Structure 1
Amino acid sequence: MKNLKIAIIGCGNLGLSIVNGLLETEGFEAKNLMVTKRHPENLSHLQSLGVTVTADNKSAAKAADLVILGVKPYNIPHILKEIAPVVSPDKQTIISLATGVTLEEMYQHLPSTTALYRAMPNIAADIQESITCICGQNSTPENEDIIKALFNSIGISIIIEEHLMEAATVLGACGIAYVLRFMRAMTQGGIQIGFDAKTANTIVNQTVKGAAELLIKKGIHPEAAIDKVTTPKGCTIVGLNEMEHHGFSAAMVKGVLASYEKIEK
């Protein structure tokens, strides 16, 4: 991936997270990265880092090996029509980050032999801790390795079937917000029992990080870890039971389903 030229068309919040992750990747050179935005002055700070910033989608796509579409779903057809004359199935691979826009819909504007992917990272790409779910068509082993290397540079990536992409969006991308809302509530509880906001936040942040790392490194189910801290008649089980009494798990599941149903409409 060292000499791969990458263009991010419509570099919004998620695109910028990918940019930041790539720039932190050892061996990746900023000169190989191009980003576009309708108002490029909003990304002018990237120019001093060596990134090409422009409003010209066609020139960026033409010069790139990988073209990442970071625009809103409703803009995908317009952007594909714009760049289609300058992209070739022999040169460019197209990657869409748009929620809900299928490969079939995008092929309406591209040659049928184009290597085309959908990818759903999350904003933790900013610190190289994203989970990115990927699906594609006209994929070769070499292409797939390149795409995975790109998204592994900003975290970890997994290949899934396309029919699961909307579910991946909810669990991986929306999921960041769910976890952050939980952390905010936990911090508020910490303040109520006596901590100042900064101390409560520090404790909560490390506790959540530790919980995630415990599951990842030990390869265990959450309930197995919970069992280790729920002693008989202890304060942990009392707190958990009170949360469940007020619908904690049910509310989380309902939130996930509500987000999924919104995408599916």
Structure 2
Amino acid sequence: MKTEVTILGGGNLGSALANGLAHTEEYSTTVTRRNIDLIKHLEEKGITVTSDNKSAVEKSKLLILAVQPTQIEALIDEIKPVLDPDKHILISAITGLTDEEITELTGPGFQIIRVMPNTAASINQSMTCIEKTPHEEAEQETIKLFNTLGKTLLIETELMEASTVLGACGIAFFLRYIRAASQGGIEVGFHAQDAQLIAAQTALGASALLLKSNGHPEAEIDKVTTPKGCTIAGLNEMEHNGLSSALIKGIKTSYDMIEKIR
């Protein structure tokens, strides 16, 4: 029998999670959104879509909160009459919202697990960081759920905002690199579509090398940099123009923005 999951909030992240879960055998998924016309396409994949948050909550054990931070109070007020601490596990994918802040809205007694996946969940390639909590059963169920959507890592509470930047915002950062590499490919002679294919597949290969070897990036870089070669010449030019520094500063700036919002 499939486990019922309700995703409250069918925006970009909520829809990505739903798409990924549609590829699994273990879960039956419902997604809610005020304007269901925007998520009607999910029905083609066997996903239930509705604007009725309360009915969706009543039929599920695992509730993924995937609305904007400004929407959470109204959402909890709406579903509070049907929330049951003995039945529901609340999984929050809301940036910057703490367990304590959610508890203030729901009342005590709920098992709350914060997670930070990314939109690659739609193709079951998410990197999801999961908050360590005293709720062992809920924690294990959450890990099991997100393991079907990619890789998971259990982290301390104080690292949740940092995981948002590195893992969730990181999708955009790496895509911007691929876009820039594609543009460089066009300059050296490739058509746009071919340049993007080469850049994207090369990025995928680089990531796969690290994930398989569990080694340091420099070890793989050393394998393709020869004395007086074109690779080291290109790398040094990028570094002279601030490639690593810009990436690090961008990550830190995104983190500082989350801290300001909090």
Partner of 1:20: 19
Does residue 250 of structure 1 match 2:249? Answer: no
Of 215, 221, 230 in structure 1, the residue corresponding to residue 216 of structure 2 is 221
The sequence identity of aligned pairs, in percent, is 50
Instruction: Give structure 2 stretches of 5+ with no counterpart.
Output: none
Aligned pairs for 1:1-265 within 5 A:
3-25=2-24, 27-28=25-26, 32-135=28-131, 137-140=133-136, 142-265=137-260
How many Å separate the matches in 2 of 1:204 and 1:46? 30
2:64 alignment partner, SS class: strand
- After superposition, give the CA deviation of every residue in 1:101-154 in whole Å (9 maximum; x if it has no partner): 1111111012322110111100100110000011154512x3222111111111
How many Å separate the matches in 2 of 1:136 and 1:211? 30
How many Å separate the matches in 2 of 1:236 and 1:49? 44
The one-letter code sitting in structure 1 at the alignment partner of 2:144 is A
Q: Is the 8 A contact 1:113 1:138 kept in 2?
A: no
C-alpha displacement of 1:3:
2.2
The one-letter code sitting in structure 2 at the alignment partner of 1:147 is T
The one-letter code sitting in structure 2 at the alignment partner of 1:161 is E
- How many pairs does the alignment contain? 260
- After superposition, give the CA deviation of every residue in 1:213-253 in whole Å (9 maximum; x if it has no partner): 11111111001111111111111111111111111110110
1:5 alignment partner, SS class: strand
C-alpha displacement of 1:196:
1.1
1:108 alignment partner, SS class: helix
C-alpha displacement of 1:41:
2.1
How many Å separate the matches in 1 of 2:134 and 2:222? 46
The one-letter code sitting in structure 1 at the alignment partner of 2:150 is G
How many Å separate the matches in 2 of 1:251 and 1:44? 40
The one-letter code sitting in structure 1 at the alignment partner of 2:141 is I
TM-score for the superposition, normalised by structure 2: 0.95
Instruction: Give structure 1 stretches of 5+ with no counterpart.
Output: none
The one-letter code sitting in structure 1 at the alignment partner of 2:168 is A
How many Å separate the matches in 2 of 1:237 and 1:230? 5
How many Å separate the matches in 2 of 1:245 and 1:127? 36
Q: Is the 8 A contact 1:103 1:136 kept in 2?
A: no
RMSD of the TM alignment (CA)? 1.3
C-alpha displacement of 1:84:
1.7
How many Å separate the matches in 1 of 2:231 and 2:243? 15
The one-letter code sitting in structure 1 at the alignment partner of 2:185 is G
TM-score for the superposition, normalised by structure 1: 0.94
C-alpha displacement of 1:46:
2.7
